Chains A and B, each alone.
Chain A
Amino acid sequence: MSEEQTEEEVLNKISKHIRNKSSQGNIVEISELKAMDLELSEEEIDEKVEILKSDDQFNDIRILSGEEGRYIFSDDSMTKKYATMMAKVEEDNLKELIAETVREDSKIYPRPTDIKVFKKSPFYLEDEVLNEVIDQMVEEKDYKDINKVVASNGALYLYSNAHMEEDHAIGLTEWVEVIRKEIP
């Protein structure tokens, strides 16, 4: 650690960066901190992050372990759910992203998932990419609960049959995509 910086100054600098990024909807991968001009070694950064995790003064700073990295966010302006989603986007783990979204939608709301959601903010997936990933997923063992369902206007939805019956998914898809919009 540089003589000029106290521990507190360093922690404030890091947490400020994280809070700023979170308020803009961005999570911070730990390697990003390592690339910043903090005058700290990689081990020292890991150490500071552990302190942030446990220090009450920074109890809004949360750490998330993804498959490939560690992600940090401030829950003052970002929910854990959103951070988890963004971590998957960071890691380009589209199948997990889609699967987790579909399963959660089918379980907790419950509703089938309009695939258009992945084309908009914050995902912005291209049509081709999205369709290819979905086609792959429905063939794979790990995602065998993920099924397609199509509304009468051709719109594609997905649901998880681990949490929702097929009949229900068909009825709900039609309701959400077509009927509900016609009764504004």
Chain B
Amino acid sequence: MAIIKKSGKSLVPRNIEVMVIPFVLITVLIILSILVAKIGISKVNSQREKLAVAQKDETIFKQKQEILQEVQGEVLSLADLSASAVPNKNPALAVISQLKNLASSRSVVLSNLQVGSKSGTEKGMSKVDISFDVDGDFSSVLDFLQDTSKIAPISQIEKIEINQAVGVTRANTTLVSFWAPFPKKLPPLTEPAKDLSVEELSLIRSLSELTPPAFLEMTPSAPSAREDPFTF
């Protein structure tokens, strides 16, 4: 005011002087509004984005929890069933055991069993060839061969050569069985869980009709207390 007033008389015209305060107020208001709008809106937007992500994650977690709780009771048997169909190790032994059981139930004779002369990998799956001869009457041999598709681990017949002589049928068969390593890691926590689809459920139903192998895994028994052989 010292500048604009000199010896008690204002240097600024009165007309302008009365306009100063409203202009200053409006300028301050505009500056504040711009600042608040800039900072506030960006803050609100970032918080809203965070909230949207959090709510999406929450929905995923909730859905995952519900699915897991829903399948909790039955998933153990399903896991056993599916693992017996496609095991994580070479299933040759289990398949041979199944074939032998099948042969005795169909009254045919199994011979020349050979395993794995030609094994390979296909789309993440390993396969092993099992070849054998099966002797019996024509009908029983065909029944036996048909039944190979009803055993677990799942196997497929590559080729069959059937020869008949004097009422005895011999089928030289090559069968392929499959295995694949188990998945090593779980999907990320934020990945939505998928329940078993209708197609998967129908696959499970068809797997449940397969004859499981008589042995799956031999678990070592826990050490037991040894009795003293010298006490009578």
A binds B: no
B residues whose Cβ falls under 8 Å from a Cβ of A: none
A residues whose Cβ falls under 8 Å from a Cβ of B: none
